[in-house]
Structure 1
Amino acid sequence: MMLKHNNCLCLITLLLASFQITFVYCEGWAWISGDKIVDQVSTYQYPGGRSGASTWHDVNVNLTWMFGGQGFSEFPSGKPHLLNDLWIFNFNPVTEAKEKMDYFVKLGPVVSTGNSQKEIKPWPGIRQHASMCGFSDSLILFGGLGENGTGLEDLWIFNLRDKTWRQMSKKGPSRRGHPGVWCFGSFMYIFGGLGEKGQILNDMWKLNMLTLEWTLLQPFSVDMELPFKADLPEGRNGPATWVSGGAFYMFGGNTASSFSYSMQLVEGLVSDMWRYFPCNSTWDRVKDPMITDNKKIHNHMDAEKDAGPTIPGPRIGAGSWVDSLGNLWLFGGAGSDASLATASKHSQVLSDIWRFNTKPKVWEFVGGSREGGKAGIYTNLGEETVDGLPGSRTEMMVFPGKSDKIYIFGGVGHDGRKVDGFLNDLWSLDVSSVMSYQYMISVLSLLLFLGVGIFLLIIGFVVGLSSREDKHHGLMNRLSYTAVRSGLGASGHQYKQLKTDSEFIM
């Protein structure tokens, strides 16, 4: 019995050791452009520090468009302001160590200087957190947050061929900014956001980018009686969004109209995961938020055992992207780190990396810092290393690249001195190396698991065989003793009689 118990402990220990290998990750950040110091002004070749810009990636030509945000233009005013400049992000997949002006191309607006007179063409006004998608030869821009956080409702179309803007007068969603946004084929979907007076919205809209017609998909409001029992996401702004496998995913965001970055509170921030099916306009709750005994949400499963985070903490303004396998990635934002203190006190800017596997529907902590408020670690320019790390930040821009390489640009957070401000540094991360490394480790874990299983089966067989031999010898001794007493020898009849004997326990 003790031997069997020890075997079980051995099996559990080895299995845990084999599975523990799957939690060993690698990461290779490379600082490839921009400045180590916050609040840099723009030039005509490279954008200045900024956050909350709108982006759309054109997969056909592998270019990313970036509009507006809040930060610094080419005019050194000394403090950040809203922007309305339009940039194209391009990259050279062969070499990363090149001049920073090679990555960005500015398309406007054209600024008149001196006595020069230039024709002023229509151009969207300054804003941040606008909704932007593109299709065919058009770039679509809707709403956003203007001066004093006022929600906007204007709709603009940018012609990618002649590089001109045109404002449309199509009636659609109410004024808003910072909603969840999904670009899907020729449609742009938006959910919630901040309204004209800062109220939290929870309606769902679809824009046909060919006809420019809006469709209201989810008209539910907080005070409306639903005709059926529906499990719907709470209204929010600033969630992370993805499109994978024909479904829309949404994680976290802010649900409280009282939220502000300046107060640095976690109240209102959530960590739930939702999935929306555009084929039938239905929501599905994929993951509930992690809730502790004191009803506060954080990302630490077991503080006493230091089990580490098993789900990202509640946050707003995180960067998001999808890898070639359809898995969802999350970086940074502002919210709760792995400590219990941020669950009930102040939020932190974050630099953690998470991956959501859409098949088993589980989160995996991949890398970065478990603690918030980290300064950037800038290594040699263009050098991919495990030592480099972007400083903790939120409202950054994510530019997809080729072969599972992504780029992180700017945001609000910490520079190399741990000074807060608007960043304009550009980082790359090759997540394919993380995926291939994890695949290799997973195969190793599987082989180790099978090897341990076969080994324990052999041990169990040998132990079982030895035990049966011992019992067999004991049985033969008892048979011989009975045979001497009865003079019958070891016959079958005597064996049957012994099997029913209370003294003989097989």
Structure 2
Amino acid sequence: MTQRFRLKILQACPLFFQPRSDRSGKWGNGTPLSGPRVLLLALALSSCGGGGGSSTPALSLSALLPWTWIGGSSTPNQPTTATTPGARISSATWTDSSGNFWMFGGEISSTSDTNDLWVYNPVTHTWTQESAPSSLNLPGAYGTQGTPGTGNLPGARNDSVSWIDLSGNLWLFGGYGYASSSTLGDMNDLWEYVPTNKTWTWVGGSNQINQSGSYGGNPGTTGTPGSRLASVSWTDSTGNLWLFGGKGYASSGSTGELNDLWKYAPSAKTWTWVSGSSSPNQLSMGTSPGARHDSVAWIDSTGNLWLFGGVGYGPTNTLGELNDLWKFTPTNNTWTLIRSGNPLNQTGSYGNSQTPSSTNLPGSRDSSVAWTDTSGNLWLFGGYAYDSTGTLGELNDLWKFTLSTQQWTWVNGSKLANQIGSYGSQPGTQGMPGARYSANAWFSTSGSGSLWLFGGLEGSTNYLNDLWQYTP
């Protein structure tokens, strides 16, 4: 979630090391984090928060350094260069049919957003800047609605949602930032980017901030979602774009946490209100998720939509961190509760690393990132969450949810909050991303498939631009 809404409080493991402000991947005394010290670190993590009194080390050696640091810096708050995006959080991301990774905008400091567009080639390991705005915090250049133009450009923003359609075009909706003026607010503008001719089109929604939703009479009618940030999205097999929840505007100017579900048909250019409420701050009723923002979402191989966690409401009228898991079946428009996550603010139940169990469950969290792999498994990384000791902070834990068994597996990373990264000496070395939230992510289907992670926020001021790859 954007820094303008929340500051994080860091708490570090008090034993063998402390987080360093320079994020150098070293112990607190400056000694490199490598060799025999890796084993000591694993033992330290076990002693520092084992959770449940288990004598099993918190991390096995095979799980401690499973990621590869590909590029970007191990030092925070890097500026943008001609060849590398600067540090940022809460960008919009896409993966195109050629396997390239796209990234638009994001928050680069507590007072600045950008609206640059980048594409990354994971084969050549190169970034290309598709558009480079002249300054930060720029309002959008909307042009004429429905008309593409090389001069059109969405305003600077963060916490938007994104889709890619069957034709390979990129779609962008809403977020928090700048519409057609220099005033900050929530947005509900819908944009389409066509990579082949490098043009943006303002497709729908308003070019003004803080717009109420237009719901029609009942679910099943056409309308327009209200302005919002930190929603989640899916693209189904027929090319429809789906949008759920967020924080923003419902009907008649009412604001708060949202649990409305919308479907957009690009061919007809229409939104349909599918389910959920036209009023904010709804509780979970067992047949639909409670209102929330900063959740994560997946789509499985059979077309079902999945939703996990976020900040919002469970079955009681209390706002907090969630770790409930839901499945939505588009063929009959029904939600199914898979794991209740009740009560709020739950401590993580990790079990043993790389061992699935029906009792495993990621702690309540928001602002994580998620992927679906080539086998249909759901993956979850980090965020602002409750660790194995009940400490609320940033995490770097990686989880896998297996659909066939409906069990979570803690794969790697720490079960303790606020861990530093292990970078090695240079990009291309094995390591482990540090704890963070509001990072950006992609999944590559080439080969056996791999997870990619870019940037995020460490603490309240350390914006990151490191790029990592993990191959399951």
> Please, what TM-score do these two structures have when normalized by structure 2?
0.70
Deviation of the 1:284 alpha carbon = 0.4
The residue number in structure 2 matching 1:393 is 436
Deviations along 1:144-197, one digit per CA (max 9) or x if unpaired, are: 112687210111111221101111235621111111211223111011101147
Deviation of the 1:45 alpha carbon = 1.4
After TM superposition, list the pairs within 5 Å mapping 1:246-285 onto structure 2: 246-255=303-312, 268-285=320-337
CA RMSD of aligned residues (A): 3.1
Q: Which amino acid aligns with 1:140?
A: W
1:61 aligns with 2:110: no
Deviations along 1:324-366, one digit per CA (max 9) or x if unpaired, are: 21111111000111113x2xxxx20110011111111111111
Q: Which amino acid aligns with 2:229?
A: G
After TM superposition, list the pairs within 5 Å mapping 1:218-237 onto structure 2: 218-221=275-278, 231-237=287-293
Q: Which amino acid aligns with 1:30?
A: T
Q: What SS does structure 2 have at the residue aligned with 1:85?
A: strand
1:421 aligns with 2:472: no
Q: Do the aligned residues in 1 keep the contact of 2:282 with 2:291 (CA within 8 Å)?
A: no
The residue number in structure 2 matching 1:438 is none
The residue number in structure 1 matching 2:198 is 163
Question: 237, 244, 247: which one pairs with 2:300?
Answer: 244
Higher helix share: 1
Q: Do the aligned residues in 1 keep the contact of 2:373 with 2:379 (CA within 8 Å)?
A: yes
Give the greater-gyration-radius structure (CA).
1
Q: Which amino acid aligns with 1:183?
A: T
Q: Which amino acid aligns with 1:107?
A: E
The residue number in structure 2 matching 1:320 is 370
The residue number in structure 2 matching 1:192 is 245
Inter-partner Cα distance in structure 2 for 1:131 and 1:83: 15
Q: 1:392 to 1:271 in 2, by over 3 A?
A: same
Inter-partner Cα distance in structure 2 for 1:30 and 1:370: 20
1:142 aligns with 2:183: no
- Between stretches 271-280 and 26-35, larger displacement belongs to 26-35
Deviations along 1:365-406, one digit per CA (max 9) or x if unpaired, are: 111011111111111334453xx2111001111121222212
Q: Which amino acid aligns with 2:463?
A: F
Deviation of the 1:420 alpha carbon = 4.5
Q: 1:354 to 1:120 in 2, by over 3 A?
A: closer
The residue number in structure 2 matching 1:182 is 234
Deviation of the 1:230 alpha carbon = 5.8
Q: 1:356 to 1:169 in 2, by over 3 A?
A: closer
Q: 1:86 to 1:296 in 2, by over 3 A?
A: closer
Q: Which amino acid aligns with 1:395?
A: S
Q: Do the aligned residues in 2 keep the contact of 1:300 with 1:308 (CA within 8 Å)?
A: no
Question: 330, 333, 338: which one pairs with 2:383?
Answer: 333
Q: Do the aligned residues in 1 keep the contact of 2:192 with 2:200 (CA within 8 Å)?
A: yes
The residue number in structure 1 matching 2:155 is 125
Q: Which amino acid aligns with 2:224?
A: G
Gaps of 5+ in 1: 1-19, 73-78, 94-101, 113-118, 258-265, 432-506
Inter-partner Cα distance in structure 2 for 1:80 and 1:425: 21
Q: Do the aligned residues in 1 keep the contact of 2:373 with 2:443 (CA within 8 Å)?
A: no
> Please, what TM-score do these two structures have when normalized by structure 1?
0.66
Q: What SS does structure 1 have at the residue aligned with 2:229?
A: coil
Gaps of 5+ in 2: 1-55, 136-148, 206-222, 352-356
Deviations along 1:258-281, one digit per CA (max 9) or x if unpaired, are: xxxxxxxx9611000000111111
Deviation of the 1:308 alpha carbon = 13
Q: How many residues align?
A: 362
Inter-partner Cα distance in structure 1 for 2:155 and 2:288: 34
Inter-partner Cα distance in structure 1 for 2:279 and 2:465: 39
Q: Do the aligned residues in 1 keep the contact of 2:282 with 2:290 (CA within 8 Å)?
A: no
Inter-partner Cα distance in structure 2 for 1:224 and 1:34: 39
